[in-house]
A = this chain, B = another copy of it.
Amino acid sequence: MKNQKDFVKSVTAMDDDFAQWYTDIVTKADLVDYSSVRGSMIIRPYGYALWENIKNELDRRIKETGHENVYMPLFIPESLLQKEKDHIEGFAPEVAFVTHGGSEELTERLVVRPTSEVLFCEHYKDIIHSYRDLPKLYNQWANVVRWEKTTRPFLRTLEFLWQEGHTCHATDEDAHEETTRMLEVYARVCEDLLAIPVVKGQKTEKEKFAGAKFTYTIESLMHDGKALQTATSHHLGTGFAKAFGIQYLDKDGNQQYVHQTSWGFTTRVIGALIMVHGDDRGLKIPPKVAPTQVMIVPIAQHKEGVLDFAYDLKESLSKLVRIDIDASDKKPGWKFNEYEMKGIPVRLEVGPKDIEKNQVVLVRRDTGEKVFVSMDKLEETLLALLEEIQYSMLDTARKAREDKTSTTNSFEEFKELINQKPGFIKAMWCGKLECEEKIKEVTGATSRCIPFEQESISNECVCCGNEAQKLVYWAKSY
C-alpha cells in the first residue's frame, strides 16, 4: 500500500466498493499512513488528536467511576500466559514471541502482550490479602499485539492502542455490577460522544472472551450493513483467581477467591466512527470529539480587511470552540473539499460582502446546510449548531441502523435477508452451539449478541425450530 498515495482527493464511491472507500478515506483524511512494518499503521497527527479526544474523555469517566491507572510490562513470560487454560488456548495462535535479547538467546520465550490479564493476576496475588483490600479497580492505557493475517487500519492491526480495565471484587454480584457499569460507560461514550448507536447485550458461549464466565458487548452497525464489536466487558468469575491463587481473608476469617472483571476499548472505535458517519465526500466527525470543530475559510482574502476580520474571529471564538483558519493561498473550493474530507463539523466562510453585512456563513458538514448569521448572534448560534449536529448525527445513525435491522422467524428468509438487505437480523435461538454454527456456515452471519432488551418474536429457534431461549442479533461482521 506504501506508494499508493496520490494527492488527488477523489474517493471511491462507498456503494461501488466499500472496502476501497474506507482505505481511501483513512489515508486521504490524513488519519493514518502505512509503513514497512506489515499490518501496522502510523497514526498521523489528525488521527491521533481524534484518539486523544476520545481517550481523555474515556479516561475521565474511568477515573470518575473509581478506577486508578497503572502500567504493566509489555512482555509476558510464556509460562505465565499458560497458567489459565482457556485463556492461552484462545490467544496462542495470535501472539508474537521475543526469543533474543541483545546477543543472547532467551531461556524462556517472551510473549508481547495480546492482553494483560495474567500480569494483573500475578500482581493482585501479591497485593490482595484481606477484604479491606477490595475492590481493586485498575486500568491501563497501552499498546497490544495480535498476530493477524489480514489487517486494515483501525479495524484489525498487528498492534493497536487501547485501555484495559482489570478489577477484583469480594463477591460475584460486585463483579457482575462492575461488568455492567463499564459496559454502560462504553455505551455512553459511543452514543453521547461518538454519536454511534449501540446494541447492548451478552456474547454467546462461543463468542465470549477466552477465560471469561461471560462477556458483555456493545455492537454497532456500519454503513455497509456489517456489524462491529465496539467494546467488551468481561465477568471473569473465579477462573483466573483459582489459576493464580488470588485469595483474601473475609470478615469471618475464611480464605475466599476474588471475583474478577476485565474490559477494553480500542482505537478500533475510530474505524466505527468512519464507517457509521462517513460519506463519499469524506469523514464526518461529531463535534464533541472533533480535533477542529470549526474551520474558517476566508473568501476573497486578498481584499482589504478580510484576513484581519477572519483572524479576529478565530481569536475571539477560540475561547468557545476548537477553531482554526486556513489562510493559505489555495482556492476556497479546494479548502472546502479538504475540510469536508476531514469531517470538520462546521465551515465558517467570511468575505467582503459578509463583512459589509456584518454576518458570516456557517456550513454544516453533516447535512450541507448553509446559514447566514449576523455577528451579534454568532456565538450562541455556533454553540447551538454544534449541539444540533451532535444530536442529529446520532439520530441519523439510529435511523440508518433501524433501516438495516430486520426481524424474521424463517431460516429461508434469514438466508435471503443477509444478502439482499445486509444488516442486523433479529431472530430467536434455541441456545445450542450446533444451530449457531450452522447459521454461520450457511449464511456467514455470526451471533453478535443476546440483547439485554429481549423481545419474544416467536417460540421457535429460527434454525432448528425447537424451543427458543433467546432473541439474538445476527449479522456479518468486521
Contact = CB atoms under 8 A, between A and B. Distances in A.
A388 to B, nearest CB: 30
Contact of A33 (B40, B102, B109, B126): B126
A102 B98 contact: no
A102 B147 contact: yes
Which of A70, A73, A109 has the most B CB atoms < 10 Å from its CB? A73
Contacts of A73: 35, 37, 40-42, 158-159
A140 to B, nearest CB: 8
A93 B100 contact: no
A177 interface: no
A66 to B, nearest CB: 12
A270 to B, nearest CB: 12
A305 interface: no
A5 to B, nearest CB: 7
Which of A44, A74, A94 has the most B CB atoms < 10 Å from its CB? A74
A385 interface: no
Interface stretch (A15-23, A45-53, A416-424): A45-53
Contacts of A142: 143
A98 B95 contact: no
A71 interface: yes
B35 A72 contact: yes
B42 A71 contact: yes
A138 interface: yes
Contact of A159 (B37, B75, B119): B75
Contacts of A127: 33
Given A73-B37, A123-B42, A138-B45, A99 B99 contact: yes
Contacts of A35: 72-73, 119, 122-123
Interface string A211-227: 00000000000000000
Given A98-B98, A126-B33, A161 B71 contact: yes
Interface string A72-93: 1111110010000000000001
Given A96-B98, A99-B97, A119-B35, A74 B126 contact: no
Nearest to A101: B147
Copies in the complex: 2
A39 to B, nearest CB: 9
A368 B240 CA distance: 46
A155 interface: no
Contacts of A94: 102
A467 interface: no
A112 interface: yes
A126 B5 contact: yes
Nearest to A97: B100
A76 B123 contact: no
Contacts of A158: 73, 75, 101
A145 interface: yes
B48 A71 contact: yes
A44 B71 CA distance: 7
Contacts of A109: 100
Given A102-B147, A119-B35, A70 B97 contact: no
Contact of A42 (B5, B69, B70): B70
A103 interface: yes
Interface in A380-430: none
Contacts of A33: 123, 126-127
Given A36-B122, A126-B5, A48 B75 contact: no
Contacts of A42: 70-73, 119, 123
A317 interface: no
A43 interface: yes
A68 interface: yes
Interface of A: 2, 5, 33, 35-37, 40-45, 48-49, 51-52, 68-77, 80, 93-103, 109-110, 112, 119, 122-123, 126-127, 138, 142-143, 145, 147, 158-159, 161
Given A36-B80, A37-B73, A97-B99, 6 more contacts: A37-B110, A42-B71, A42-B119, A96-B98, A96-B101, A98-B98
Question: Which 3 residue pairs of A and B lie closest in terms of their CB atoms, listed nearest first?
Answer: A40-B73, A45-B68, A101-B147
